[in-house]
Structure 1
């Protein structure tokens, strides 16, 4: 059975089959390339009718039978995260709405903020008497320093697509 969903605006077909997808392709004489994405992920690339396609193959081990869920798309996920693609499609299969892609601005800001809090925590560990509230100005300065370590200035961050970043946070920076 096959159903069509979207992941970051790209069509993805979810297909549950009781055979090996690679075996089906081989029987049809369809050549494919196994992509070295990750040891845990089985992603293949093939061309059919002049269209390049990608398939994420997820075996399902049932006690008495073999099955796979195959996710077919015409491009790699924008964030290159095949597991998020599978999670998103499975959630949609259960009735959820499609996930929104995280922007680079959000990713950078999240990482810079996490690093800033870790720096503050390690400074607190050195001084056991400083377990007070976080100084927001110091936190903002550390976030800016961390952003700069990624080669991004605050103005550049604001110029990036950032629909998933709070305007309040951007204004504080």
Structure 2
């Protein structure tokens, strides 16, 4: 049975409230970089390979959303992911209009402070190994494991791999770069993920 958003949020919040994790001898430290002194906006703008997402946030005056007190987890497509779209990427910013790109990015954002370790724990605890969460857009996001990797799937089957080694924990959320976008574009020239 799939966990509902409230189960995943409760588990993630409980884990996040644990504050500092104790690392036992021989255990690996959490992979998420902690930049608790900065907001998601700063984390996104300083991250390598996320200039497309950072540019949209700046151009669309969305910085105040990611500078606020609400917690979000942003699954940010890398610049390479947008480049792989080829000509199909043009439909995301027709005539310089960022509205389609903003709509797309809303489906890459879930509410709450979800570190990759929180997702792994929630997935391990679910009998089906899947956790579905609502995005701030119109589409749900389903998380699952693919070997050791965490992947996310959109409702049309588009799937991305979370680049957890590049995850950043800010004071109001978590930035997790992903290697694709969670929606198949009608004229996409790349192979589906």
TM-score (norm 2): 0.24
Q: Flag the structure with larger Rg.
A: 1
Task: Kindly indicate which of the two structures has a greater share of residues assigned to strand.
Answer: 1
TM-score (norm 1): 0.26
Q: Which has the higher contact order (CA 8 A, sep 6+)?
A: 2
